[in-house]
Amino acid sequence: MGLNAYQLDQLKMGNNLAHMVILHEYPLSMVDHIGFREFVSSLQPLFKLISRNTLKSDIIKIYDNEREKTLKMMNKNGSKMFVYVPSPHTKDVLAKVIIDSFLEWSIDRKLSTITIDNCSTNNAMIRLLLNKLDTSSLMLSGSMLHMRCAANILNLIVQDRLSLIGDGIERLRDNVIYWTGSPKRRQNFNENACQLRIQCTKELVLDCKTRWNSTYLMLSTALIYKNVFSHLAKHEVSYTCLPTEYDWEVAKDICERLELFYSVTKFFSGRKYPTTNMHFTLVCELKIALNDWSLSSNKMISRMVESMLAKFNSYWADVNIVTVVAAILDLRYKMKLLEFYDPNTYGDNFDLEIEKIKNLCHDLLNKYGDVNESPVDNEGSSHMPISFKLCGTNEM
């Protein structure tokens, strides 16, 4: 082993400290803490620990540098943005925050779509944005600007319908609450699961009532341990919330049907891999499944699915046309995919929808032709359209 002279790089260590604070969201005041200063001194006595103000300045420099790099990348290739908007979420507040962001990032004339949750406030906010933006710079004069968040729509479709069987879900929820209410009860439950040789390592999980996918996970996990609950009911006097056999049957039926919705929601909520061309296929699979489920002999299930179909049709009427175009542009699918799925999704309006989508493709082709002829900026790149995303339920 050879020994070389060590040279302290004060600037590099200061930047590493700033990156650490950003990464873990540590308070700036940590550099004033006696214990932290003593710890740093023991690691490297030669390092002069920076002050809180210097740390703040270094973080701002990192932000400005990353912002500049991101802006150049967006100008060159197009990209997506994510913005957090604090309350209150009125249409005026949302419109102002978004317009300010557009101007800050110099993308107000480079927009393609804005993806938002499906609600009346957001609908009104889009109308305000269209009045403030130069529609001549938008795709097809802004007619395609508004994109509704697919994961949010799935959540609305399923969550509203689960309320139809709310009593059974509440009993199952109370059941889970009882056995997750204390460490002692959890331990007792796990011991009984081992005695009954349940081959599952999943823990009971309590759901978030406003997120159907968490309710699905709660029900599907509870179903695995159904026999454990019945076994415990024979020995635990205070355990009086055992679900009925009918509750279990409904829960099983629901979980089997919602598994597809859960998989699609998980795909839509992915951060790296989901692409628009895959969207249309999954939506069509959901529609076909709903059509099949509507024939269920269980009146409660058929009533629930009937309502889900109504919601599905109303929500996706304004969503899928852009994703259809993306699927057509996928060389694996082209128009054949549309012709395969659309009789099941559009029914009697099939021919009209096909013609509508063909016309849209022609309009987009003409628009992109205009974009390609537009002047380039100083970086030598054309003004590519950018998608802007603002939604709160896009992730699981």
Backbone dihedral region for residue 107 (phi beyond 0: left; psi -120 to 50: alpha; all else: beta): alpha
Mean pLDDT of the 101-105 span: 82
Give me the chain's average pLDDT, please: 80
Q: Enumerate the domain spans of the chain.
A: 8-73, 78-148+364-371+379-396
pLDDT classification of 153: cutoffs 50, 70, 90: confident
pTM above 0.75, yes or no: no
Asked whether the predicted pLDDT for residue 361 surpasses 90, the reply is no
Of residues 137 and 386, the one with the higher pLDDT is 137
Determine the Cα–Cα distance for residues 334 and 327; give it in Å rounded to an integer.
7
Structure token digits, residue 76: 């060159």
pLDDT classification of 140: cutoffs 50, 70, 90: confident
E strand map for 225-287: none
Q: Three-state DSSP class for 387?
A: strand
pLDDT classification of 56: cutoffs 50, 70, 90: very high
Structure token digits, residue 97: 């925050």
Residues with Cβ within 8 Å of residue 321, at least 6 apart in sequence: 356, 357, 360
pLDDT of residue 1: 52
Determine the Cα–Cα distance for residues 148 and 5; give it in Å rounded to an integer.
60
**How far are the Cα atoms of 129, 145, 264 from residue 118, in angstroms, in the given order?**
16, 14, 18
Of residues 114 and 369, the one with the higher pLDDT is 114
Q: Among 143-152, 280-289, 315-324, whose mean pLDDT is lowest?
A: 315-324
Q: Among 43-57, 294-308, 321-335, 369-383, whose mean pLDDT is lowest?
A: 369-383
**How far are the Cα atoms of 162, 295, 375, 376 from residue 380, in angstroms, in the given order?**
53, 58, 9, 5
pLDDT of residue 343: 64
pLDDT of residue 178: 92
Looking from the CA of 74 toward its CB, the CA atoms found within 13 Å total: 22
pLDDT classification of 201: cutoffs 50, 70, 90: confident
Among residues 247, 246, 227, the alpha carbon closest in space to that of 174 is found at 247
Cis peptide before 88 (omega within 30 of 0): yes
Determine the Cα–Cα distance for residues 65 and 30; give it in Å rounded to an integer.
24
Residues with Cβ within 8 Å of residue 315, at least 6 apart in sequence: 118, 148, 153, 156, 157
Asked whether the predicted pLDDT for residue 11 surpasses 70, the reply is yes
pLDDT of residue 177: 92
**Is the four-CA dihedral 160, 306, 172, 182 of positive or negative sign?**
negative
Asked whether the predicted pLDDT for residue 395 surpasses 60, the reply is no
Q: Percentage of residues in the chain with pLDDT exceeding 90?
A: 15
| DSSP conformation letters of 277-288 | HHHHHHHHHHHH
Residue 242 backbone dihedrals phi, psi, to 5 degrees: -65, 125
Paired strand residues for 115 = 147, 389
pLDDT of residue 222: 93
